[in-house]
């Protein structure tokens, strides 16, 4: 049914053109509408198998990808890296070659982005990034899908603000997703928490030509003023536990509270990729309040990932 992107990897959003990103979003909207009309299984991938490799714990990524694949008529094999021969010294290269003979696609959730690149290099099947230290593209695609649902298709007219650690994987993928669609992201973070230089380079090589841009605003109150969308993420990601005290101290002024949200437009929305550390990066009255669309955002992971799977898996 969908042929344009077969056998492509999905490691970062920068690997795709604006038109390809828009295709993924359009297919996601189509599949979601069919699901809402009662089509619980749309057999676009019958007989296909998806391997999912987890180095990190997961709730939303695992459940959303697993249900997405099954609702497309396929099946899933979930593997924790500690249960695989990877834990006993087998190379990523050999794992990639072997899995390519068994399954039709791989989702991997890893600590180091380089592992995904190596997995993709030696796989003959699509490799999909389920999260790495630098990128979370399925989340980024879901984020713009949700923004467009709530605020209209032309995100270039919106003020979208990310508050907190501008160097985390969610901020990186949101930055690329918004930029590739011609929008602008305002990142409000303290010094030392700016986007990674490699991601800035990707942005400049890809999103800029579509009119995308981003800016850093150190003052969160100024950043959020008249915003249409306010987004935050946890301050201490998996693997950063040793930095916890410093990160909380540095990022405390960037907590999203109801007072901060009142600087945004009256109809602004609040977004968070979850899980949330309530009381740290966001207060209960915001995540549970009138601004919050986080549960719709979480649901949309499944529909957007259906699109990714349907388009990429041969």
Catalytic residue flag (residue 139): yes
Enumerate the β-bridge partners of residue 187.
162, 216
Closest by CA to 164, choosing from 58, 282, 288, is: 282
Phi, psi of 241, deg, nearest 5: -60, -35
Euclidean distance between the first and final Cα of the chain, in Å?
11
Rounded-to-integer distance, Cα 299 and Cα 296, Å: 5
Catalytic residue among 8, 9, 135, 139: 139
Catalytic residue among 196, 273, 303, 305: 273
Rounded-to-integer distance, Cα 188 and Cα 171, Å: 11
Catalytic residue among 60, 136, 255, 303: 136
Catalytic residue among 196, 233, 272, 305: 233
Rounded-to-integer distance, Cα 129 and Cα 136, Å: 7
Catalytic residue among 109, 135, 196, 255: 109
Residues in the chain: 314
Catalytic residue flag (residue 273): yes
Catalytic residue flag (residue 285): no
Number of neighbouring beta carbons within 10 Å of residue 97: 13
Q: H/E element holding 115?
A: helix 113-122
Burial of 299 (0-12, 13-18, 19+ CB in 10 A): middle
Catalytic residue flag (residue 109): yes
User: Coil, helix or strand for 82?
Assistant: helix
Q: 10 with 127: CB under 8 angstroms?
A: yes
Catalytic residue among 8, 113, 135, 301: 301
Rounded-to-integer distance, Cα 217 and Cα 19, Å: 30
Active site residues: 109, 136, 139, 233, 273, 301
């Amino acid at each position: 049914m969908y042929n344009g992107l077969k056998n492509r990897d999905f490691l970062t959003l920068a690997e795709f053109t604006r038109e390809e990103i828009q295709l993924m979003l359009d297919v996601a909207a189509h599949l979601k509408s069919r699901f809402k009309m009662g089509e619980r299984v749309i057999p676009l991938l019958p007989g296909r198998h998806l391997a999912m490799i987890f180095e990190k714990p997961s709730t939303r990524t695992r459940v959303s990808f697993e249900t997405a694949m099954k609702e497309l008529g396929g099946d899933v094999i979930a593997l924790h890296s500690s249960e695989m021969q990877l834990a006993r010294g087998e190379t990523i290269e050999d794992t990639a070659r072997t899995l390519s003979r068994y399954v039709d696609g791989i989702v991997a959730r890893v600590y180091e982005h380089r592992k995904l690149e190596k997995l993709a290099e030696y796989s003959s099947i699509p490799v999909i990034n389920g999260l790495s230290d630098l990128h979370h593209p399925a989340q980024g695609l879901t984020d713009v899908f949700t923004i467009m649902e709530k605020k209209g298709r032309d995100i270039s007219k919106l003020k979208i603000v990310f508050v907190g650690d501008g160097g985390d994987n969610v901020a990186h993928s949101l930055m690329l997703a918004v930029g590739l669609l011609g929008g602008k992201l305002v990142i409000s973070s303290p010094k030392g928490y700016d986007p990674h230089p490699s991601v800035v380079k990707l942005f400049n090589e890809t999103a800029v030509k579509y009119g995308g841009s981003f800016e850093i605003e150190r003052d969160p109150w100024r950043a959020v003023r008249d915003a249409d969308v306010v987004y935050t993420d946890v301050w201490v990601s998996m693997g950063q536990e040793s930095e916890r005290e410093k990160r909380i101290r540095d990022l405390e002024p960037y907590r999203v509270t109801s007072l901060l949200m009142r600087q945004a437009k009256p109809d602004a929305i609040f977004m968070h990729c979850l899980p949330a550390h309530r009381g740290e990066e966001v207060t209960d009255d915001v995540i549970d309040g009138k601004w919050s669309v986080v549960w719709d955002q979480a649901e949309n992971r499944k529909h957007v990932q259906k699109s990714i799977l349907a388009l990429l898996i041969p």
